[in-house]
Amino acid sequence: MKSGLNVNISFKEFLQVDDPLATCGTLTDAEIVDNVRGVSEDEEHTDAPKVTTKEAEKAVELLTTFLESQENVGYEGFAALANLRRLIETKKVRRQKSLKDHFYC
């Protein structure tokens, strides 16, 4: 019974049988530069800037204006905005503006 396989190859030929096959992707120039610089994909994503209490207050006010302009808005929408206002106010009160606000010389 013949299998049709060439079993008369050298060990070196056996090891090199898949050399012409692509076994991994190629890197782009940008990826090579990032690798050299040590930049990972996680580091490329920067955190969004923090929203200030003033900005949050303006956003709640804008949402209030929006809800007021809509028809058939239930109590729940306005109650949620009232909760947000209280939360923002709590954060604002807790924030210490400077040491001079608490200690007098």
**In what helix (H) or strand (E) does residue 13 lie, and over which residues does it extend?**
helix 11-15
Amino acid (one-letter) located at 10: S
Average pLDDT, the chain: 81
Neighbours of 55 (CB within 10 A): 12
Task: Give the CB-side neighbour count of residue 13, counting CA atoms within 13 A.
Answer: 5
Whole-model pTM?
Answer: 0.47
* Distance separating alpha carbons of residues 65 and 45, to the nearest angstrom: 34
In this prediction, residues 19-39 reach a mean pLDDT of 82
Read off the pLDDT band of 78 (50, 70, 90): very high
Amino acid (one-letter) located at 85: R
Neighbours of 92 (CB within 10 A): 13
57: nearest Cα among 105, 95, 29, 27:
95
CB 67 within 8 A of CB 77: yes
Read off the pLDDT band of 65 (50, 70, 90): very high
